[in-house]
Amino acid sequence: MNIPNWITFSRLLGIPFLLYGLYNPTPQARWICLTIFLIAALTDWLDGYLARKLNQITDLGKFLDPLVDKLLVLAPLLVLVELGKVPAWGVFLILGRELAIAGWRVNKTTITGANIWGKLKTVSQIIAIALLMAPLSELWQIPTLIAFWLSVALTLISGGIYLLPEKPSLETQTQVIR
């Protein structure tokens, strides 16, 4: 395993602390959870940057990175459902998309990296979860829910785009015509 893959794997280490802290309703515990979550989310950018910079992009990294991202997003969302912060059916839509894409990827011979829609989905989820975790005043309740539902929408859109049949390239079309 290379450095970017170790960084990806290290994101998993924060999840138990994050989950434990979310059950503590104090503002201090929430700020600590938010910090852990944001540091873990930043490592998602860091591992990708290092993989490209060090020319260490691997199939393991392409597989492990989205899997760890899903765990980092779904673990706190499930606790937030239990705490009554978000509706379960919204989280179910996110979970359903993630399982569908993971199942679809199993049948692919090559693993591709995330496209722009996948990246937008991830960023929107991070923002929504961060807002849901933070001990903010009531004024933030509606913007936080809007961020959550926007992340659900982007999750579904990115899943639909991912599952759309790939259009053959011009080179492939030319070979078929010959």
Q: What digits encode the pLDDT tens for the residues 58-68? A: 888 888 888 89
Could you give the CA distance from residue 136 to residue 140 in angstroms, rounded to a whole number?
6
Reference 79, options 33, 122, 121; nearest CA is: 33
Instruction: Give the torsion through C-alpha atoms of 120, 163, 91, 122, to 10 deg.
Output: -20
Tell whether 177 is covered by a domain.
Answer: no
| 172 located within any domain | no
Burial tier of 81 (Cβ tally within 10 Å: 0-12, 13-18, 19+):
middle
**49 domain residue, yes or no:** yes
Is residue 174 in a domain?
Answer: no
Please give the model's pTM, rounded to 2 decimal places.
0.83
Q: The domain containing residue 159 runs over which residues? A: 3-163
Flag whether 124 is in a domain.
yes
- The verdict on residue 92 lying in a domain is yes
Question: For position 145, which CATH number holds?
Answer: 1.20.120.1760
Residue 178 lies in a domain: no
**Averaged pLDDT in 10-residue chunks for the chain of 178 residues:** 90 91 93 95 90 88 85 95 95 92 71 76 95 95 96 94 70 53
